[in-house]
Amino acid sequence: MECAINGSPYQFTLSPATPLSELLRSHGLLSVKQGCCVGECGACTVLVDGVAVDSCLYLAAWIDGKQIRTLEGEAVGGKLSRVQEAFTQSGAVQCGFCTPGLVMATTALLAKPHVKPFTVQEIRRGLAGNLCRCTGYQMIVETVQACEEEQ
């Protein structure tokens, strides 16, 4: 099986039941958090061909021929992505456990064709699969709005 992870080619031989989160973490991509492991919290969110998925529920066998993006690949040449930068500048990061998943989900949300600007309800709905126990979500919504203003 072949795929690209954060722009680099990989070849794997793996058990058909291996979750993508496990495969990524076993290759050092530790931004992919193991939270609930049942598709409830979004802490394991990565992009598969640009679509945000819960990698704990996504079988690694399904990534053949696909492009995978994790938080580690978002900073290019040591420069944070616009979304990463926005999260670091706002109060949207507290303990940080949810942050990698939220950054990836926000990146996918902003890339979707949409009528600008998103309403608060659209942002909340767009990130509904990503739970945060610290921030109360308002600062996360404001972070997404700030990203949109910069676009």
One-letter amino acid for residue 13 of the chain: T
CA angle 81, 87, 89 (to 5 degrees): 100
* Nearest residue to 108 (alpha-carbon basis) of 59, 144, 56: 144
Among 46, 135, 144, 147, binds ligand FES (CB under 6 A): 135
Query: What is the per-residue binding string for ligand FES in 98-117, x denoting contact by CB under 6 A?
Result: x-------------------
In this structure, which long-range contacts are made by residues 135-139, counting pairs with CB atoms below 8 Å and at least 24 apart in sequence? 135/91, 135/92, 135/93, 135/94, 139/90, 139/91, 139/92
Q: CA distances (Å), 75 to each of 80, 125, 127, in order?
A: 4, 26, 21
**Residue closer to ligand FES (CB basis): 9 or 103:** 103
Name the segment binding ligand FES (CB under 6 A); options: 7-15, 22-30, 31-39, 74-82.
31-39
- Taking CB under 6 A as the rule, does residue 50 contact ligand FES? no
- Taking CB under 6 A as the rule, does residue 54 contact ligand FES? yes
Judging by beta carbons within 10 Å of its beta carbon (0-12, 13-18, 19+), is residue 149 exposed, middle or buried? exposed
Among 1, 4, 36, 146, binds ligand FES (CB under 6 A): 36
**Residue closer to ligand FES (CB basis): 3 or 92:** 92
Shortest distance, position 76 Cβ to ligand FES, whole Å = 24
* CA separation for the pair 129, 38 (Å, rounded): 12
Per CB under 6 A, contacts with ligand FES among 79-98 are 93-98
Which residues are near ligand FES by CB under 6 A?
34-37, 39-44, 54, 56, 93-98, 132-135
